Each structure stands twice: as C-alpha cells, then as structure tokens.
Amino acid sequence: MPSHDFCAPRLFVDAPLAQDARVPLDRDQSNYLGNVLRLAAGAEVLAFNGRDGEWQAAIEGRKRPDGLVILQPTRPQDRLADLTYVFAPLKHARLDYMVQKAIEMGAAALQPVLTRFTQASRVNTERMRANVVEAAEQCGILSIASVAEPVPLERYLGQRAPERLLIFCDEAAEVQNPIRSLHDARAAGHDQDKVGIDVLIGPEGGFAEEERALLLRQPKILRLALGPRIMRADTAAVAALALVQAVLGDWGGANG
C-alpha cells in the first residue's frame, strides 16, 4: 500500500469502514467538501475513523455532498505510543494551538489538570476533541487521541498508575542537559515500548511549592529542565514532547 497521500482531502467519520459501505456526512462535512473544497459527486477523498485504518472513498449526492461510498483501503490501522500529555489548561487560541501540536507530536491522550496558578477556570473538552480530530485529519494521523475531563493535580497524581514514568518539566529545576537525563531514563528501561510515559507541563505561573513537593514524592519521576530560558506553556509543550519523542519515543524508531 502507498504511504500517506498528501494531496487528497482527509475526513474523520464516526462510522464503521469497509468496502462498499455507505457513510452519511453531517452538515459541516457536507459544507466543507461542497462549498470550501468545491468537490462534487464522484470526487475521491480519504476517510478514517480511528479504528479501521484509512480508506479511499467517493462522494455521493446530487445537489451537495451528503455521503461517502467506501472504495478500498489505503493504509492499515496503527496505534499511538503510550504517551499522555498532562497540562494546566490555557485560554482560547493558545489552548487550541497546544492541543493541535500535542497531537502532531504523537500524544495518545490529553489530560488537563488544575493547579493553583492555572489560568483557565473552564475547559471546553468538546472544543479540544474537535482540535484533536482536525489535527489528525490534516497530518495524516490514523488514531484519535483521547481527551479526559480536567481534574485537580492532586487527584490526577493519586489515580495515575505508579509504574508509568512521569516526566515533570519544572522551571525551577537545576539547568542541566535534558537529553542526557532522558538517555539515562532510557538506559533504565523507560522507553515507550516498555512503560507508559506522562509528560507534565504546568501553568504560566509555574507550580506552587506544595505542588512541587507533592510531585517530587511520586514514584518513577524524572524532573526535567528545558534549558536556561523560561518558555511559555504552549512553547514548552512542543519542546518537551519533541525531546521525549526523540529519545524515548517513536522518532528514534523505538515503536516503529
């Protein structure tokens, strides 16, 4: 089968996919295909549902696109590495950006946590899920990351599996080489093939001292500095996930 087709439009559909199956389109999808992309009946797109791989599909409909007929598979279903991005929510556009980038970087789950200095008091998880789908559609991703409801940091730490590696990105950590620290973790067996990984980024105001003390008491924790400069939380997300994927994740072929 070919690798990713970067030219064909991709559409996430919440329906089973199999040869000759027919999938109805919702209003937004119909508008996108017909009015934005100017596609008519017979035009081909790629469809995926996060479970059955990617399929070539043809648009159906007389006046406007109203459904897809599934033609043939193009790529088999894959799985995302066991990587959870844990973060203090940001506001509006910056949260949208952070969610999209976390998906592009290969996160399999998103877990918002509420800390003392969290900026956003309300989190629209449906909007987060829409951003997850949009990033997957645009970037050739086959699996859809899960989005959890926000919980207080203390509750999250109390319910997470203790065998998972917690990478705690701490602006107050002593500045050292983060790549070396991650290589040490890999040498100890903490890559994504062997153990799940949680990457934690705090709010713009940083962690309170009691939160930091609680974090440092967690089992299997790696306290990581992200260099000599203080980053905005959305920038830190990209930097941290890039480091983790390069050393412990699938950038190095560990899960490929």
Domains of the chain, with CATH numbers? 10-75 (2.40.240.20), 83-251 (3.40.1280.10)
Q: What gap in Å lies between CA 216 and CA 210, rounded to an integer?
A: 10
Q: Which residues contact 141 (CB under 8 A, 6 or more apart)?
A: 103, 104, 135
Render pLDDT for 177-228 as a digit per residue (tens, 0 to 9). Answer: 888 889 888 888 776 667 799 999 999 888 999 999 999 999 899 999 888 8
Give strand pairing partners of 57: 45, 70
What is the structure's pLDDT at 2? 47
Please tell me which residue, 192 or 46, carries the higher pLDDT value. Answer: 46
Dihedral class, residue 206 (left if φ above 0, else alpha if ψ from -120 to 50, else beta): left
- 1 pLDDT more than 50: no
Render pLDDT for 123-134 as a digit per residue (tens, 0 to 9). Answer: 999 999 999 999
Q: What gap in Å lies between CA 121 and CA 233, rounded to an integer?
A: 16
Buried b (16+ CB within 10 A) or exposed e, 208-226: eeebbeebeeeebbbbbbb
38, two tokens: 């100017």
What is the structure's pLDDT at 34? 94
Q: What gap in Å lies between CA 102 and CA 238, rounded to an integer?
A: 7
Report the percent of the chain where pLDDT is more than 70. Answer: 94
Q: Is residue 73 helix, strand or coil? A: strand
Q: What gap in Å lies between CA 64 and CA 153, rounded to an integer?
A: 47
The strand pair at 221-224 and 44-48 is best described as unpaired
Q: Cβ(247)–Cβ(182) under 8 Å?
A: yes
Render pLDDT for 132-165 as a digit per residue (tens, 0 to 9). Answer: 999 999 999 999 999 999 999 999 999 999 899 9
Mean per-residue pLDDT of the chain: 91
Per-residue confidence at 229, pLDDT binned at 50, 70, 90? confident
Q: What are the CB-based long-range contacts (under 8 Å, 24+) for 175-178? A: 175/225, 175/227, 175/228, 176/225, 178/224, 178/225, 178/226, 178/227, 178/243
